[in-house]
Amino acid sequence: MDSFATNTAVFDSWLHRHYDYISDDIAIADLRDSHEGRGLLARNDIQKDTVLFRLSRDHILNIRTAALGKLKPGNQEVLETLNQWEALILCLAYEMMLGEESQWSSYLAVLPEKFNSLMFWSSEELEKLKPSNVLQRIGREQAEQMHSKLVPEYCLRLGSKKLVEYLTIDRFHKVASIIMSYSFDVDDPEDDPEDDPEDSEDQEEEVDELEQECIKYDGYLKSMVPLADILNSNTNLVNANLSYENDALVMTATKDIKKGEQIYNIYGELPNSEILRKYGYVELPASKYDFAELPVSVIKQTFVDNYLSSLDSKIRETLFDKTAELINDSDYLDESLEDLEEGIVLDSYEVFADADVLPELLLLIQILTTCYESFETDPKWAKKLARSRSELESFVNRCILKSYQLVEKNIITNRCVENLNKCVEGRIAQYGTAQNYEIPASYRDFDRTELASIVLRCEVNCLRNVLNNFPEKYERIDDSKLLKNVLKRKAEADAQKHKKQRT
């Protein structure tokens, strides 16, 4: 037996000694051949709704059960002032430091030592993921800040000098990555809703944002759940679900499962970029929840490049920035779109594989199209607007109003669709050769270049979907009527001016 198999066997016997119930129809399997590490397989046919295993809350690892929480009186309270990540990192690192002495040593032995998640990619490797926005979500700096907050101060407050030495930055990244890919957010049975500051108006103002970020007020505990975390994930093949009962956690089959089939959980409705970032693998041929992102910078470039070519590029950029700022500050949109707290001008817009274009993206493009088609009718006037905020404001507000009234009724103009497509094409062009990468049909031991190419190609597919399958629910109309409407006042003012000049 190699150490992989020995560790599995020791873990399996630990599970059978400690857990309330484990069905004989499931077994931990060695899936290294298909590059999935360990996983859970069905040994016999399993019917939908069958309980696969049940484990008591005493055997999950979190601040309430971990040795660090019991090391000295008051540790529970100190841990509760931290956020979920900080507290569980300290608790899990402490168990790892204890090694054989840890109550979870058989479990710790089956946790990974090597990682493919993005935190462990070099900067050259990360370059291969350009232009995906996933690069903005790696969080190395935040992790380093967290490390300097916890080590040495909190290790010492919790009474462990040894943990200061043990928890080097490299170990910290490993422990954090294990938590990222293995932990569950389990409701906290000890949570007293009365303690929740959001429920008490008097307390609400006293508790500042930082304090609210601590475990005390969360109502759940980030926890390591042995066996539940042996399940691999598949957004398309998911056939099991973990539910939380009062004193136990229960894994149940959500579909009929055939003998020999793998039992899959789902780690979240995540696109391949996020699956790679957090878990270090990708799904083939795609995740059910894939999306790409259309940055507002691409929208700006598209409008700046395609309109008002007779004006200086600086003026064109200023005009876009001011127009976008006015759309962002619009009181009318604020009131009309109560659900959209952040407004419609975002840093980027998610473009999903199999869903409609986000309504806020469509509305933004329709408003910009109405503004820019109007500007194009009189570039000199547009140049003047770039300098006069009040004049630009009243015109942009008119475009907002008229565009909103259309989009609200699922009507958009032909030019709006053209502009949306140009923005999407502009984004696709940023993917360079990844546009044509062929996603392999089956899993093999992908290197990081291949993993990056798969993520990029999945994003391109989402973008192409907009070009090829624009939702039919939108009626398309010619732009002329809308333009005439928004330009009515300008036309009247222009006519007045001409009249004056003639007399």
Residue ranges binding ligand SAM (CB under 6 A): 35-39, 112, 181-182, 229-230, 232-234, 279-281
Name which of 236 and 310 has its Cβ closer to ligand SAM. Answer: 236
Name the β-bridge partners of 476: 412
Name which of 276 and 462 has its Cβ closer to ligand SAM. Answer: 276
Name which of 39 and 271 has its Cβ closer to ligand SAM. Answer: 39
Name which of 278 and 300 has its Cβ closer to ligand SAM. Answer: 278
Minimum CB separation of residue 133 from ligand SAM in Å reads 21
Rounded CA-CA distance 347/37 in Å is 37
Minimum CB separation of residue 103 from ligand SAM in Å reads 19
Name which of 234 and 465 has its Cβ closer to ligand SAM. Answer: 234
Minimum CB separation of residue 227 from ligand SAM in Å reads 10
Name which of 119 and 428 has its Cβ closer to ligand SAM. Answer: 119
3-state secondary structure of 411: strand
Minimum CB separation of residue 259 from ligand SAM in Å reads 20
Minimum CB separation of residue 350 from ligand SAM in Å reads 22
The residue nearest ligand SAM at its CB is 37
Q: Which two tokens stand for residue 306?
A: 């395609």
Rounded CA-CA distance 453/449 in Å is 6
Name which of 180 and 386 has its Cβ closer to ligand SAM. Answer: 180
Rounded CA-CA distance 299/423 in Å is 5
Phi and psi at 51, nearest 5°, equal -75, 125
Helix ranges, 337-434 (H): 359-377, 379-387, 389-408, 414-429
Rounded CA-CA distance 253/198 in Å is 36
Q: What angle do CA 480, 486, 487 make, to 5 degrees?
A: 85
Rounded CA-CA distance 487/483 in Å is 6
Rounded CA-CA distance 278/292 in Å is 17
Which residues, 6 or more positions from 34, have their beta carbon under 8 angstroms from its beta carbon?
443
Minimum CB separation of residue 56 from ligand SAM in Å reads 20
Minimum CB separation of residue 47 from ligand SAM in Å reads 24
Rounded CA-CA distance 453/281 in Å is 12
Name which of 39 and 295 has its Cβ closer to ligand SAM. Answer: 39
Name which of 115 and 381 has its Cβ closer to ligand SAM. Answer: 115
- Cβ-contact 148, 168 below 8 angstroms: no
Minimum CB separation of residue 127 from ligand SAM in Å reads 23
Q: Which stretch of DSSP H or E encloses residue 147?
A: helix 140-149
- Cβ-contact 253, 48 below 8 angstroms: yes
Name which of 260 and 471 has its Cβ closer to ligand SAM. Answer: 260
Strands 262-265 and 232-233 come out as parallel
Rounded CA-CA distance 290/384 in Å is 43
Of 282, 392, 286, nearest in space to 329 by CA? 392
Minimum CB separation of residue 454 from ligand SAM in Å reads 12
The DSSP code for 442 is S
Instruction: Classify the phi-psi angles of 271: left when phi > 0, otherwise alpha if psi is within -120 to 50, otherwise beta.
Output: beta
Name which of 35 and 137 has its Cβ closer to ligand SAM. Answer: 35
Minimum CB separation of residue 60 from ligand SAM in Å reads 14
Rounded CA-CA distance 436/423 in Å is 19
Minimum CB separation of residue 262 from ligand SAM in Å reads 9
- Cβ-contact 75, 158 below 8 angstroms: yes
Rounded CA-CA distance 81/271 in Å is 33
Which residues, 6 or more positions from 15, have their beta carbon under 8 angstroms from its beta carbon?
22, 226, 227
Name which of 234 and 419 has its Cβ closer to ligand SAM. Answer: 234
Minimum CB separation of residue 428 from ligand SAM in Å reads 27
Which residues, 6 or more positions from 32, have their beta carbon under 8 angstroms from its beta carbon?
4
Rounded CA-CA distance 197/189 in Å is 18
Name which of 39 and 69 has its Cβ closer to ligand SAM. Answer: 39
